[in-house]
Every structure is written in structure tokens, then in C-alpha cells.
Structure 1
């Protein structure tokens, strides 16, 4: 069983930044890259809102640069996925791909959150070419174009309202006649003249011209009639799922599964376990905020290992 000072589970902006900072602190971190090395940004195209890149940068390139920067300072990367953990003993135990076991003095959880997808033909093939799960990230690219938002909750209403700043027309598509969104969010969306509604339909396929999105095929739940809603983009807004299943309840999470941290720190309910990025942030979910939280996690780990961090380890009993 191999022992490490620090293990970082997950990559993306949070995991990579945590790796950079902990490596520079001579903590020799081992980073387990996860199923999707680089995280959700490897599925995007151009990123224009990450500070320091005047003309933007491609998502995969940004992630590759972060990884190389961490490697420069001595971070070690291993392909694989953390499949289980045991945080009840010291040192902490982590199992990777069900057969490789490690122990660590501290663990940083940066496993992110996965956008829930529709699971229909054309969807995964067109991510970054008209299909998106983040209006804040990609809305700018749809200036004066027609877009569709799929979903009926608060996040869908928020995404649709945000997209009206850029798009010429936004169509909200939902599988029921009733929306799950709060009354306030519904009223705000219905009052926006740019927003149209297609309710009580089932999504069947994202249409394309072979290169980019051209529309969304739906079927009326009452009549069975099929039609294609023409659009330049499809935003899937049916929620996110934090990647915390492998923790098996050993760290305090909220009702959805996002890890709960103490105050402004990255400290979880378990001593020596810290969290950063989208796995603990259900609100912002931006590359820059994830990177910032990765920095905090690494700095917290450094202070913890040197014995200068105070922590209320009874938080688990209070939540």
C-alpha cells in the first residue's frame, strides 16, 4: 500500500490549481485524474472569461497548460478513478479502480459535478458545437441567434433569462405542462418577451447539419405529433449531480450531494479531508471560482499538515 502526503482526487481547474499550490509547497501531491481528465472544460471549445487570455483560449488547452504547470513543480498524475475511500482511520485510505490502494496524510476532493444530460441522439456528439450545459460560459457565442433551453426548474428559468441578453429568441422546452421552478422565477421568465414556451413534449433528438446544431426534435405527449424546433443552440438545464457517490456518506453533504465545507475554508466534516471546485459549489460553477477554491484547499492542507490549522471536527454532528 503506497503512502503519500497529499492525494488530490479529480482534476479540472480546482484539482489542477490544488496540485500547483501543493506541489510548490513541497507536498509532492499524487493526483488521481478521474474518468474525465481535465474535467468539463475539456468538452468546451473557446473560453473567453478566464482572466489573462485576451483573445480567449480553448478549454482543453487551458487544462493541459494547468497540468503541465503542476508537473513542473513535481505533482504526479495517475490515470484512474477513486472508487472508494476509508476516512475512519489514520492515515486516510483511498482505493483507485477497485484494486490499487493508497494511504495519505491529507486528501483533497476535487471530483467536480456532472451536468445531467437528456441522453438523446446527437446530444453528446454536438457538445461544444451548439449543445451546452452552461449559459454563463457559452451564451456570448449565441448573440442574435435562436436557442433552446431544456428544463423546468429554477436553473432553466435562470439560464433562459440570462440568454436573452444575447440571443434573439429563447425557447423553453419542458416535458410537463407544469414547471418545477419557483413562482418568482417563472413570472420573471414569462414576462420576458424574448422567451417562448413549448411544454408537455418529450425531447427525441438534437438535429444538426453535420457540423453544428440546427434544431431539436420533440414529440407532443398528448397527440404524438413530432416536430423540429429550429435553433442554433440547445442548452440542457436539468440540473447537476456532484460526483460524491464513491464517498459512501463518509463526508457531510447537503441534500443533493454537494460536500459541505466550514465557513470560508475548504475543510470538510472529516479531519484531514478538504474539498474544492464544483463538488462543493452548487452556485457559481465557473472555471475561475473552481481554480480559486483549489488554491484555498492546497493552502488549508499545508497549514493542517504543519499543525497550524484549527478545525471544528464536530461539524458532522451539527449539520
Structure 2
């Protein structure tokens, strides 16, 4: 039987995005033996940000890659470890969490899930290639870059309609495309959006997003008639849902949309198990809130670790 190394820590964090790195920094700075386990390169969704302009104190703008690089260096400078390891399972034996990977087992009395969420993509030609060049999944992050430009929003739920309303304050030319003949959002949200001048396009799906170095148009298809057309636009904001990465802790309570439920200390229903960042149920998901989540979780853990 293959020998499996066992490493013991005070605090284990799964996920090296903003929440995980912030939590590691605060924990390590507080003297906790801390490790981040990341299956792939750190950063998460931030790596798609070309110009981060709304994080307090970071000015002039930086790109997401540089921002995460600095966060990583800062966490490591305080003593946090970052190991590349795909987590296979999580168990709790007595008062310790046991995290198994292919070649190692990690144990700690405290664990934080900071695995984030991924955008539900359209999976159409041009989406991936033009992400960050007019294709966006965050109106607050990228909307201001398209002030007074032509904007298309894709989706039909509360998020899509709310974000379209927000974008209407930036541009007077906002259209929202939905595959059905009515929106799924709450009536009050829809009414507010329409009152703001957002133009609905019903019964329509996006076949492709077009452009060479930036978004120039979208190809649309009417699902009832089958007719296709090209619609000129400078930006495409996609709000077709998020998928929280909760597979490792499927037994924990979640809200109606699948996000992990925590208390104000970021602790889940399982004592010692925390969640931080976009994987957690909360009203607002931004880098600044992810960082706050991670810091709160770490400080809570530090207050409980026996000296």
C-alpha cells in the first residue's frame, strides 16, 4: 500500500482566491500554522479582471493577476503555506478535519471552504475569447468602462434585471435578452428595470459573440421563428447564474440557490468549519467582501486556538 504523508496544521483553507488568501494572511500573522490547498493556480475569478478599479486603496488600477500575486506574496511573508493539491475528500474525526489528497493527508481542528463560485457560461463562440474585452459577468466591476456605450445584458432572473437597471445608470442604451417571453425575476425588479429604460428582447438566444479584439456584435436567434440577426453592441454582460463550488461539503445546509449558509463569524452548521467568499450565502459578492469574509473567519479561528 502506498504510504501517505500526513501534515498537521492549526488551520486549513481550501481555495486560493481573495477570500482564501486573506484568511491565510490573517491566520498566519496571528501565529497559526496555516496552509492553503489549491487544485489549480490561485486567483479564481479575479484572474479574469483586466482592470481592477473599485478595490479601496488600490489605485491606479491593476489587473487581477498582479493583485492576486501581491496577496499571495503577502500571505506567504507572514508564514502561510500554499500547496497545490486536489482535495479528494473531507472528513471530521473527533475534533479534527481530515483532508485527503492524492499523495498527502492534511489535518487541522479548523477548516475554511473558500472554493468560490463559477459563472454559468453561455458556451457560445466568442464568449471565452472576448472575456475581459467586452464580455463580462460583473456590472459593478466593468460597467463604468462602457459609459454611454451600447450594452447587452443576457438573462432573465433577479440578478440579470437588477444588473441591467444598474447599467442603465451608466448608459442610455441597454438591452436585455431573454430566451423566454417573460422574465423570471420578481415583478418589482422587472418594473424598476423597464422604468429605467432598459429595452427587452424576448424569445431570443445568443448564438455567438463577435469581434476581433473587442466585442462588436452578437448574433441572435429568435427561438419561435428561427430567424437570426446581428445586433451591434460594445459590451455583453452575462447573468445566467452562478455555480457555487460546494461539492466537497455537500452535506452542509445551503440556501435556495446552493450557497453555503454561515453565521456572522463565517462558521457553518458544523463547528470548526467555515466558509468565506463567493461560496457563501450573502447579498453582495465582490473582492472586498470576500477579503472581509476570510479575515473574519481567520480571526474567529485564532480566538479559539489553544495557546
Per the normalisation by structure 1, the TM-score is: 0.91
SS class of match (2:88): strand
Report the alpha carbon displacement of residue 83 of structure 1 after superposing the two structures with TM.
3.1
Q: Which residue of 2 aligns with 1:75?
A: 80
Tell me what 1:273 maps to.
Answer: 273
Aligned mates of 2:145, 2:277 — CA distance in 1: 25
- Report the Cα distance in structure 1 between the residues aligned to 2:151 and 2:295, rounded to whole angstroms: 36
Is the contact made by 1:274 and 1:301 (CA closer than 8 Å) also made in structure 2? no
SS of the residue aligned with 1:21?
A: helix
CA-based RMSD of the aligned residues comes to 1.5
Matched, 1:255 2:256: yes
Task: Quote how far apart the aligned CAs of 1:74 are.
Answer: 1.1
Aligned pairs (5 A) from 1:170-181:
170-181=174-185
What does residue 297 of structure 2 align with? 297
Whole-Å separation in 2 of the counterparts to 1:111 and 1:36: 12
Asked if 1 retains the 8 angstrom alpha-carbon contact of 2:21 and 2:72, the reply is yes
- How far residue 306 of structure 1 moved from its aligned partner, in angstroms, is 2.8
Structure 1 gaps, min length 5: 308-319
Which residues of structure 2 form unaligned runs of 5+?
1-5
Residue 64 of structure 1: SS of its match in structure 2?
A: helix
Matches within 5 A, 1:154-165: 154-165=158-169
2:109 aligned counterpart, secondary structure: strand
* 1:146 counterpart (141, 147, 150): 150
Distance (Å, rounded) in 1 between the aligned partners of 2:260 and 2:93: 17
Following the alignment from structure 1 to structure 2, what is the Cα–Cα distance between the partners of residues 3 and 44? Answer: 35
CA distance in 2, matches of 1:259, 1:36: 23
**Which one of the candidate residues 192, 195, 217 is aligned to 1:191?**
195
Instruction: Tell me how far 1:242 sits from its aligned partner.
Output: 1.1
Report if the CA contact (8 A) 1:44-1:127 is conserved. no
How many residues of Structure 1 are paired with residues of Structure 2 in the alignment?
Answer: 302
**Structure 1: 4+ residue segments shifted above 4 A:** none
Tell me by how many angstroms 1:88 deviates: 5.2
Question: Judging changes above 3 Å, is the alpha-carbon distance between structure 1 residues 267 and 130 closer, same or farther for their aligned structure 2 residues?
Answer: same
Instruction: Tell me, in whole angstroms, the C-alpha distance in 2 between the residues paired with 1:73 and 1:181.
Output: 45
1:118 paired to 2:118: no
Distance 1:168 1:245 in 2: 41
1:235 aligns with 2:237: yes
Q: In 2, Cα distance between the equivalents of 1:34 and 1:292?
A: 23
Following superposition, the deviation at residue 36 of structure 1 comes to 5.1
For the residues of structure 2 that align with 1:171 and 1:227, how far apart are their CA atoms? 15
Quickly say closer, same or farther: Cα 1:217–1:89, change in 2 above 3 A: farther
Question: CA contact under 8 A between 2:25 and 2:74: conserved in structure 1?
Answer: yes
The SS at the match of 1:126 is coil
The whole-number CA distance in structure 1 between the counterparts of 2:40 and 2:178 is: 30
The one of 98, 101, 104 equivalent to 1:93 is 98
Q: Is the 8 A contact 2:255 2:281 kept in 1?
A: no
Matched, 1:65 2:70: yes
Q: 1:303: Cα distance to partner? A: 1.1
Match of 2:3 in 1: none
| Correspondence for 1:218 among 217, 220, 223 | 220
Counterparts of 2:110 and 2:234, CA distance in 1: 46
Q: Which of 201, 205, 215 is residue 202 of structure 1 equivalent to?
A: 205
Distance 1:238 1:304 in 2: 40
Distance 2:304 2:120 in 1: 35
Mapped to 2, the partners of 1:50 and 1:255 lie a distance apart of 29
